[in-house]
Amino acid sequence: MSEFAQSLSEPGTIASILAAIAMFATITSVMLPALKGDKLETRLKQVTTQREKLRRANREALEKKGLKRDDSGTISQITGKLNLQKMLEDPNIKAKLVQAGLRGPRPLSIFYFCRFALPFLGALGVFLYIFLVNDMGLSPQMKIGSVIFGAAAGFYAPNLYISNLASKRQQSIMRAFPDALDMLLICVESGMSIELGFAKVGAEVGPASPELAEEFQLTTAELAYLQERRVAYENLAKRTGHEGVKSVCMALMQAERYGTPLGDALRVMAKENRDMRMAEAEKKAAALPAKLTVPMILFFLPVLFLVVLGPAYIKFKEMN
C-alpha cells in the first residue's frame, strides 16, 4: 500500500494522470455536441410525425364514415342515362344536401331520381284512391285537380324532406356549439394547435351532438390536407349554414391572417353564441302562449264549460 501511495506521488505518475484527464476532457468537449443532438430538429420531427398520424387517422375516419361515396348504383345509372340532373337542375340542392349531412354524388343522384319518380307515384296514388276507392263526391274538375296536386306534392316532397333534415341537424349543432367553443378555448389556451383542438373537442362533444363532432372532425382533416386554412373554415361555415358558426369562422380567419390571439377571438365568439342560444330560447318561450291558444280552445275550454255548467244543467233538469 505504501508502495502504491509512493508511486502516486512520483512526478511521472502525476504527469500521466493529468495528461489522461486532459485527453478525456478534450474528447468529451469534442464529442458532446454530436451526442447532444439538435433539440429543435427533434421537436420538428416529432411535430411532423404527429401531423402524419393525425392525417392517417382522419383519412381512416373519413373512409369509415363513407364520405367518399361511389356513384355506381342502379339509381345513379338511371339518373345518368336520363340526364335528370340537367333536366331537373336545382342550383341550391348541393348546399342543402351538405347542410343535411348527405355528402358525395350518390345522395344527389337519389334526390334527382326521387324528384323524377315521386310526381308519377303521387299522381297515381291520388288517381287510384279517388277513382277506385272513394271519390268523396268530387266533381270531375276537382278530381283532375287532386291528381295534379298529388303530382306537385311528389315533386316538392324531396326538397321539403332535405330542408327539414338540414334544419334539425342545424339545431343539434347549435345546441352544443357554445359549449364546444368553450372547450376549444381551453384547448387553445393550454397550448394546443387549432387542429388538435378541433380533434379533441370533436371527440368530447360527440355524445351531446354527433353532427357537431362530425363537422369538427371534417374541419380537422381539411386543416391537415388543404393548403389554405381559410378554405377549411369557409367549408365549415357552408356546411352548417348558421350565422353563429359563420361569425366564428370569420374570426378564426382574421386571427390566422392578422396574427391576433385565437383565445381572445374564441372567448368573444363563445359569449356571443351563448347569448344567441339564450335569445333563441327566450323567443320560443315568448311564442308559447300563442301556440297554446288553439289547443286550449279545443281541449281546455269545453271541459271547463262542462264543469261549470254541468251542475246547473243537472239542477235545471231536476226542477223540471
Helices 243-258, 262-295: axis angle to 10 degrees equals: 170
pTM above 0.85, yes or no: no
Is 139 within the bounds of a domain?
yes
The pLDDT score that the predictor gives to residue 40 is: 46
Is 24 within the bounds of a domain?
no
Q: How many CB atoms lie within 10 A of CB 291?
A: 9
Is 49 within the bounds of a domain?
no
Give how many domains the chain has, as a whole number.
1
Runs of H (alpha helix) within 88-228: 93-99, 105-128, 140-189, 194-204, 210-225
Q: Domain range spanning residue 140?
A: 74-275
The pLDDT score that the predictor gives to residue 66 is: 47
> How is 4-47 classified by DSSP, letter by letter?
HHHHHTSHHHHHHHHHHHHHHHHHHHHHHHHHH--HHHHHHHHH
Low pLDDT (below 70) residues in the chain: 1-16, 18-20, 22, 24-25, 28-73, 320
| Phi, psi values for residue 231, rounded to 5° | -65, -35
Is 219 within the bounds of a domain?
yes
Is 56 within the bounds of a domain?
no
Is 209 within the bounds of a domain?
yes
Is 296 within the bounds of a domain?
no
- Beta-carbon contacts of 127 under 8 Å, excluding residues fewer than 6 positions away, are 147, 150
Separation CA 107–CA 210 (nearest Å): 20
| Per-chain mean pLDDT for the chain | 78
